[in-house]
Amino acid sequence: MPPPAFDTPLIFECGQDGRANCYLPRGPQLETLLPGDLVRDELPLPDNSELDVVRHFTRLSHKTFGIDTVFYPLGSCTMKYNPRINDAMANLPALRDLHPFAPDHAAQGALAVMWELERALASLFGMAAFSLNPAAGAHAELTALLIAKAYFAKRGEAHRNVVIVPDTAHGTNPASAAMVGFRVLSLKSDARGRVDPAALAAVAGPDTAVCMMTNPNTLGLFEDRIGEVSDVIHRAGALMYYDGANANALMGNTRPGDMGFDLMHLNLHKTFSIPHGGGGAGAGPVGVAPALVPYLPVPVVRAYEADGSPAAADGWRDSTGLRFALDFTAPDAVGTMRSFWSNFAHMVRALAYIYANGAEGLILTSQLAVLNANYIRVGIADVVDIPYPEINRHEFVASAQSLKRDTGVRALDLGKALLDRGYHAPTVYFPLIVPECLMIEPTETESKETLDAFIAAFREIVAAARIDPESALGTPRTTPVGRIDETRAARQPDLRWRAPSTESG
Ligand SMILES: *Cc1c(COP(=O)(O)O)cnc(C)c1O
């Protein structure tokens, strides 16, 4: 396989001795700015002018596929537009420059942000309380399962050691359950791609701790028997867990709390428009029903009326006139999951998004997300397989199984061919129960013109592949890096540039 075809020389491989603009002169001054052991003269670093370096990184940034440059229908990841007002709010100096050790009396504004966000999420999702402590979705699953474990231990039911996970679940669900020491029991979906209450009743019992689900599930289908499912689990004495990473489908329209869920998490970095991807910082609040509130991680933001009495916290309320304090003392808390206030800037972004949209805006957001996903499904339904041909929610799955049988072109090839057309690929090969799966989530922020152009490009790719499979098989051909060996890239990632002279070391 030839090396990646970059159209400009790598910055590390050009440059001339003495060319660097030296704003930091070598010598004792530099040593005072950097610890001495970081200043290593023997490193064979290239000497480049500042302009060359700026151009290098600016060119690289143009080669990035991101939501700010292209349509990004990556199912389950909710790559929607991130409104710039969110960043403006997160960058307000009074919030941004606050020291994480600031005493409560000097951080009242930041504590108010956390409290109002927590109240807004509780009322939007029908939970008694949320913790903003966990730093991502999987981290939140871990937190919630620790809460469930502590709850059963306190009730003298530590023997409950099984977590039931439907086969449509996100891969993090069984992984999180195993991390907490639970045994994972995978439950097969029925022919309609949903959990069958009778099949669940056959496996739920005195050793069941939690049933982890999401609704709509990862096929984009609403679990229309969720009430019966919750009853089965509650009759068995177990808890219902809601993976709300993809709450874009229902936010403001229905609430997990009303479906019988006792525990849940959200990915603020999906539903609430916070930049993500590439492993950046996330935010995964965990919400709980009343009986589980004592187990939430600390610190908890407590609100007090002007007279010092605890503020009533039933649903959302304006924080004007309240005082706030961080409470680290809750005796049954599962501990602290993340240092300081966790990813505070993301909390500011999420609250800005909620206030900018308002209740009506949030309702419309999820309705448009659902409309856009159905629009694409209908637009491509006659050129690929749609394994569950019914109204979907914020995303849907298609399958390239017939195309593969007829031409050898797979879901992977369609995803790669879309890159050449200037679109990010959909999620492929997930959920695992659909062969040659393409999982498409357009989100609400795309225009009809963009959806139409994507549908047209998708149809053209499939039509061309039916005549000449090679047209899709070798793609992408126009991207900075062509088709890579996926297995080697995953198993032996080579993410580091090595100077030629240190190659052997
Ligand atoms: C993204 C996602 C997760 C994991 O969230 P991270 O923040 O990446 O850890 C869990 N469940 C579902 C359904 C998701 O889409």
Give, using CA atoms, the residue closest to atom 15 of ligand 1.
Answer: 76
Sort residue 253 into left (φ over 0), alpha (ψ -120 to 50) or beta: alpha
What span, in angstroms and rounded, lies between the C-alpha atoms of 80 and 97?
A: 28
What span, in angstroms and rounded, lies between the C-alpha atoms of 109 and 444?
A: 31
Give, using CA atoms, the residue closest to atom 14 of ligand 1.
Answer: 245
- Within 10 Å of residue 187's Cβ, how many Cβ atoms? 20
Is the predicted pLDDT of residue 157 greater than 80, yes or no?
Answer: yes
247 Cα–ligand 1 center, Å: 11
Tokens 């609704």 belong to residue:
215
- pLDDT value at position 4? 46
Ligand 1 pocket (Cβ < 6 Å) reads 76, 136-138, 170, 172, 214, 243, 245-246, 267, 282, 284
Is the predicted pLDDT of residue 10 greater than 70, yes or no?
Answer: no
475 contact partners, CB below 8 Å, separation of at least 6: 413, 416, 417, 419, 420, 483
Is the CB of residue 276 less than 8 Å from the CB of residue 128?
no
Ligand 1, from 243, 265, 393, 441: best to mutate by most atoms within 8 Å of Cβ? 243
Is the predicted pLDDT of residue 281 greater than 70, yes or no?
Answer: yes
- pLDDT value at position 5? 46
- pLDDT value at position 481? 85
- pLDDT value at position 50? 84
Task: Name the residue with higher pLDDT: 373 or 18.
Answer: 373
Provide the pairing of β-strand 437-440 with 323-327. Answer: unpaired
What span, in angstroms and rounded, lies between the C-alpha atoms of 480 and 63?
A: 7
173 Cα–ligand 1 center, Å: 9
> Domain 84-354 maps to which CATH number in 3.40.50.300, 3.30.450.90, 3.40.50.2000, 3.40.640.10?
3.40.640.10
Q: Which of 223, 30, 261 is nearest to 128 (CA)?
A: 261
- pLDDT value at position 147? 98
Go through the chain and tell me how many residues it has. Answer: 505
Is the predicted pLDDT of residue 7 greater than 60, yes or no?
Answer: no
342 Cα–ligand 1 center, Å: 18
Is the predicted pLDDT of residue 452 greater than 50, yes or no?
Answer: yes
What span, in angstroms and rounded, lies between the C-alpha atoms of 247 and 244?
A: 5
435 Cα–ligand 1 center, Å: 21
- pLDDT value at position 14? 74
Taking the CA of residue 269 as reference, the ligand 1 atom at the shortest distance is 7
Q: What is the DSSP string of 241-301?
A: EEEETTGGGTTTT--HHHHT-SEEEE-HHHHT-----TT------EEE-GGGGGGS-S-EE
- pLDDT value at position 489? 86
The CATH class of 359-491 is alpha beta
Question: Integer distance in angstroms from the first to the last C-alpha of the chain?
Answer: 24
What span, in angstroms and rounded, lies between the C-alpha atoms of 54 and 459?
A: 40
Band (pLDDT 50/70/90 cuts) for residue 23 is low
Q: Do domains 84-354 and 359-491 have the same CATH topology?
A: no
Token readout for 77 is 């990841």
Give, using CA atoms, the residue closest to atom 5 of ligand 1.
Answer: 137
* Tens digits of residue pLDDT in 207-254: 999 999 999 999 999 999 999 999 999 999 999 999 999 999 999 999
Is the predicted pLDDT of residue 129 greater than 60, yes or no?
Answer: yes
The residue type found at 124 is: L
Ligand 1, from 168, 170, 286, 394: best to mutate by most atoms within 8 Å of Cβ? 170
Tell me how far CA of residue 229 lies from CA of 151, 196, 221, 335, 364, in angstroms: 21, 8, 15, 31, 28
- Within 10 Å of residue 132's Cβ, how many Cβ atoms? 30
The residue type found at 41 is: D
CA 14 to chain centre: 38
* Tens digits of residue pLDDT in 345-392: 999 999 999 999 999 999 999 999 999 999 999 999 999 999 999 999
51 Cα–ligand 1 center, Å: 40
Provide the pairing of β-strand 183-187 with 208-213. Answer: unpaired
Q: Please state, rounded to an integer, the average pLDDT across all residues of the chain.
A: 92
- pLDDT value at position 47? 82
501 Cα–ligand 1 center, Å: 42
- pLDDT value at position 2? 43
- Within 10 Å of residue 428's Cβ, how many Cβ atoms? 19
Q: Where are the domains of the chain?
A: 1-64, 84-354, 359-491
What span, in angstroms and rounded, lies between the C-alpha atoms of 118 and 326?
A: 14
49-65 b/e (C-beta count within 10 Å ≥ 16 → b):
eeebeeebeeeeeeeeb
220 Cα–ligand 1 center, Å: 15
pTM: 0.90
